[in-house]
Amino acid sequence: MATSKKDIRALTKEQLRNFFVEHGDKAFRGNQVYEWLWQKSAHSFEDMTNISKETREMLENNFVINHIQVDQMQRSSDGTIKNAVRLHDDLIVESVLIPTPTRTTACVSSQVGCSLDCKFCATARLKRMRNLNPDEIYDQVVAIDNESRLYHNRPLSNIVFMGMGEPLMNYNNVIKAIDKITSPEGLGMSPKRIVVSTSGVPKMIKKMADDDVKFKLAVSLHSAIDEVRTSIMPFNATFPLASLREALQYWYAKTKNRITYEYVVWKGINDKRKDADALVEFCKFAPSKVNIIEYNPIDDGEFQQAQSSAIDMYVNVLEKNHITVTVRRSRGKDIDAACGQLANKS
């Protein structure tokens, strides 16, 4: 429900402590409430059982907790779970739990819709409505962690920012969410288990390097030839490959972190030897890994998964050039939970 009260989770711990001092209480009360808000993920002030009724009422009069609500949960035959998540203003985003024998990964959204216009992605058709707040990103992770414990008997182990939206176009909030996820005052997860996936916004990749972030970077490349990339990811006209590469060189020089490239091979678009050669040329400046991901059809057909011989050709060319390559199968296709299928369909 829309309200004019302030979202309490927009406050830092220091601001919350000051709020209590200004209201004639102890700063320590701020710590207690902060712990309820983040570590214990309280949905309401009433849940805060070690806080007096008076104080809870005072908080109620000043603030709201804009907690997300899992509106609908779908479970795939392969164990994948997709959540349709309702935000306080009734907009919906989706997040996905992906289990494997050794890990559980949360795929979370960073925006409602997306401002990019990748031709092969269902989310692109939704248009960007707004950025998610740090607490809305955090809540998606908590919801998946709970489901992981409930359905797979283990806590969440990894997070990928590969849901709806372009995380680097909501950089500040994504960083704040990751700070909470990795902080002992939040979920205490290791940043090494978090991957931020981007279509490639050069300026922001450099900013990440300057900020000395500890999470991993994945770049959705899909083609290392400008004309081809622009035809499937039109924003490449604004940020062409040379500027992306320059930013990635800067990233690698500063962080010494390997770069992962996400890559789909489509019939008639990027399935020729020259495409694989261009990919090798593009990524050999730094230790790289290429994840060839399966195409998840989003409609009747402009894009089609390339034949397996084309995938084999890519694998051979990359391996010959000492570039690590993995071929990844999609998960959760039967519930439209796979990469690029998130479009609030149900």
Q: Collapsing DSSP states into helix, strand and coil, what is residue 192?
A: helix
Among positive and negative, which fits the CA dihedral 66, 141, 163, 295?
negative
Q: Collapsing DSSP states into helix, strand and coil, what is residue 292?
A: strand
Nearer to ligand SAH, 186 or 340 (CB): 340
296 belongs to an annotated ligand binding site = yes
Q: How far apart are CA 140 and CA 146, in angstroms?
A: 10
Q: What's the closest the beta carbon of residue 290 comes to ligand SAH, in angstroms?
A: 12
Q: Residue type for 313, please?
A: M
* Cα Rg of the chain, angstroms: 21
Candidates 22, 54, 94, 302; catalytic one: 94
Residue nearest to ligand SAH (CB): 340
Q: What's the closest the beta carbon of residue 44 comes to ligand SAH, in angstroms?
A: 32
Give the CA angle between residues 196, 109, 180 to the nearest 5°.
Answer: 65
121 belongs to an annotated ligand binding site = yes
107 belongs to an annotated ligand binding site = no
Joined tokens for residue 126: 């939704």
Joined tokens for residue 218: 């994945």
283 classed as catalytic: no
Question: SS3 for 116-145, per residue?
Answer: CCCCCCCHHHHCCCEECCHHHHHHHHHHHH
Which residues form the interface with ligand SAH (CB under 6 A)? 120-121, 162, 166, 197-199, 220, 262, 264, 293, 295-296, 298, 339-340
Q: How far apart are CA 213 and CA 175, in angstroms?
A: 9
166 belongs to an annotated ligand binding site = yes
To which residue do tokens 């005052």 refer? 185
Nearer to ligand SAH, 145 or 166 (CB): 166
107 classed as catalytic: no
Query: Residue 262 is inside which H or E element, if any?
Result: strand 259-263
Q: What's the closest the beta carbon of residue 269 comes to ligand SAH, in angstroms?
A: 13
* Residue whose C-alpha is closest to residue 125's, from 110, 107, 113, 108: 113
Nearer to ligand SAH, 284 or 328 (CB): 328
Nearer to ligand SAH, 68 or 121 (CB): 121
Q: What's the closest the beta carbon of residue 18 comes to ligand SAH, in angstroms?
A: 37
Q: How far apart are CA 330 and CA 336, in angstroms?
A: 11
Q: What's the closest the beta carbon of residue 106 comes to ligand SAH, in angstroms?
A: 13
147 belongs to an annotated ligand binding site = no
79 belongs to an annotated ligand binding site = no
Nearer to ligand SAH, 16 or 264 (CB): 264
Candidates 107, 262, 283, 339; catalytic one: 339
Can you say which residues are annotated as belonging to the binding site for S-adenosyl-L-methionine? 165-166, 197, 220-222, 296
Can you say which residues are annotated as belonging to the binding site for [4Fe-4S] cluster? 114, 118, 121
Active site residue ranges? 94, 339
Can you say which residues are annotated as belonging to the binding site? 114, 118, 121, 165-166, 197, 220-222, 296
